[in-house]
């Protein structure tokens, strides 16, 4: 009887051990699963993301000429807006035809007054009064008041005397656009000559703008025909093809052969597949001088800074350099650049700063120095 009892106890103990062992195994399996499953899921997701990334890149390169990573990893002004340029090229085909009708109108008045900072002052029911009591005419008001407003918002002091000794080269990239006429009108109003690094367009309005740039004493520079990095920088042959296509178009249209160039993305870009030194040698041999920049107005960023911010960037940049080559853009989405232009010109002419167009004699500002590749 007692033996039976102890056998039963042993049996119960053994089965409990078995149960405990089973639970142990179950826990170990569970732990292993907990470790392995996320790893498997991670690997799966990693592969999936890469596949999708490749698909995105194919689409991006097709449309914009750069991969998504190239686009987000570069904070370079020019590279950052490559996509926007391509977008504009598509949009402007439609817009340009409409613009032909309105291009002769003087837009320097009404357009410039839409700044957020002085809405109250631009209300038509609120006649603007000079200090001496006379009413301000639209012509006097435009630019002056906005420029003063913007000037008052600066958080640094401008040295009046040093501003007189500075040289400033305003440059507009990526045009012609529907705003080129407005930009030219504003420059004419202040008798300021600037530089336009243009891309290739063959519609009548764009050809008219190439011609106006030349006729009105500005410098016409080459910025590439397509502005698509993948095409331009694929090989020296491709670069030559693109360069020559635009050079020919500009010469055939205006009778003027441009001697200056601006690299899309700047000479320091790292999207170029062909060695940039090879391209520089090519330009040197042709006697073409390329210009990068040392001041940006900031209009290449995607968040469309307001005119007062663009104004601030330009005036600040100019105030700290003896010579400034200012990068701005002339595209369909850069309305704020147009709006900031008159206040900028107003301020700079008031400070008697010298505003000049670029030419091949001007000492260039270059991210990659051309001279080292002279043979």
Which tokens belong to 54? 């490749």
Question: Does residue 342 interact with Zn ion by CB under 5 A?
Answer: no
CB of 149 to Zn ion, least distance (A): 30
Q: Where are the beta strands (DSSP E) in 50-114?
A: none
Question: Does residue 174 interact with Zn ion by CB under 5 A?
Answer: yes
Q: How many residues bind Zn ion (CB under 5 A)?
A: 3
CB of 92 to Zn ion, least distance (A): 14
Which tokens belong to 367? 């991210």
Helix (H) or strand (E) holding 221, with range, is strand 219-222
Question: Does residue 242 interact with Zn ion by CB under 5 A?
Answer: no
d(CA 85, CA 334) in angstroms, rounded, equals 11
Question: Does residue 111 interact with Zn ion by CB under 5 A?
Answer: no
For residues 86 and 113, which CB has a smaller minimum distance to Zn ion in the complex?
Answer: 86
For residues 200 and 264, which CB has a smaller minimum distance to Zn ion in the complex?
Answer: 264
Which tokens belong to 141? 């008001």
- Stretch of 161-169, 259-267, 291-299, 302-310 lying at the interface with Zn ion (CB under 5 A): 259-267
For residues 330 and 342, which CB has a smaller minimum distance to Zn ion in the complex?
Answer: 330
User: Residue 357 in contact with residue 218, Cβ under 8 Å?
Assistant: yes
User: Residue 166 in contact with residue 353, Cβ under 8 Å?
Assistant: yes
CB of 62 to Zn ion, least distance (A): 19
Which tokens belong to 178? 């529907």
- Looking at the DSSP assignment, which residues form a beta bridge with residue 172? 196, 328
The rounded Cα 30 to chain-centroid distance in angstroms is: 54
Nearest to Zn ion by Cβ — which residue?
A: 173
Task: Choose among 229, 266, 203: nearest CA to 65.
Answer: 229
- Stretch of 16-24, 87-95, 177-185, 261-269 lying at the interface with Zn ion (CB under 5 A): 261-269
Question: Does residue 173 interact with Zn ion by CB under 5 A?
Answer: yes
CB of 173 to Zn ion, least distance (A): 4
Q: Which residues make Cβ contacts (< 8 Å) with residue 50, sequence separation at least 6?
A: none
- Looking at the DSSP assignment, which residues form a beta bridge with residue 129? 135
For residues 91 and 107, which CB has a smaller minimum distance to Zn ion in the complex?
Answer: 91
CB of 210 to Zn ion, least distance (A): 16
Question: Does residue 330 interact with Zn ion by CB under 5 A?
Answer: no
Residues in contact with Zn ion by CB under 5 A are 173-174, 264
């Amino acid at each position: 009887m007692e033996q039976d009892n102890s056998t039963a106890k042993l049996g119960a103990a053994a089965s409990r051990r078995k149960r405990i062992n089973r639970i142990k195994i179950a826990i170990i399996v569970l732990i292993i699963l907990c470790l392995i499953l996320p790893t498997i899921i991670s690997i799966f997701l990693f592969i999936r993301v890469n596949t999708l990334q490749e698909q995105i890149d194919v689409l991006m390169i097709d449309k914009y000429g750069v991969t998504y990573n190239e686009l987000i990893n570069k904070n370079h002004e020019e590279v950052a807006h490559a996509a926007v340029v391509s977008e504009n090229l598509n949009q402007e085909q439609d817009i340009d035809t409409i613009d032909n009708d309105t291009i002769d109108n003087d837009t320097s008045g009404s357009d410039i007054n839409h700044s957020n900072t002085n809405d109250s002052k631009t209300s038509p029911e609120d006649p603007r009064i000079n200090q001496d009591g006379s009413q301000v005419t639209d012509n006097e008001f435009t630019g002056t008041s906005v420029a003063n407003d913007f000037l008052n918002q600066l958080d640094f002091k401008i040295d009046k005397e040093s501003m007189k000794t500075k040289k400033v080269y305003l440059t507009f990239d990526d045009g012609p656009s529907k705003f080129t006429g407005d930009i030219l009108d504003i420059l004419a109003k202040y008798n300021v000559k600037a530089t336009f690094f243009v891309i290739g367009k063959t519609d009548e309005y764009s050809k008219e703008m190439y011609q106006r740039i030349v006729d009105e004493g500005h410098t016409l520079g080459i910025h590439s025909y397509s502005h698509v990095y993948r095409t331009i920088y694929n090989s020296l042959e491709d670069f030559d093809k693109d360069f020559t296509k635009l050079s020919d178009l500009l010469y055939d249209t205006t009778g003027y052969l441009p001697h200056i160039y601006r690299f899309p993305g700047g000479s320091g870009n790292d999207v170029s597949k062909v060695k940039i030194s090879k391209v520089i040698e090519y330009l040197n041999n042709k006697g073409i001088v390329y210009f990068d920049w040392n001041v940006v107005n900031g209009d290449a960023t995607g968040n469309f800074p307001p005119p007062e911010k663009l104004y601030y960037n330009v005036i600040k940049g100019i105030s700290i350099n003896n010579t400034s080559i200012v990068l701005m853009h002339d595209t369909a989405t850069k309305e704020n650049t147009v709006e900031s232009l008159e206040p900028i010109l107003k301020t700079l002419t008031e400070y008697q700063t010298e505003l000049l167009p670029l030419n091949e004699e001007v000492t260039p500002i270059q991210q990659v120095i051309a001279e080292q590749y002279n043979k």
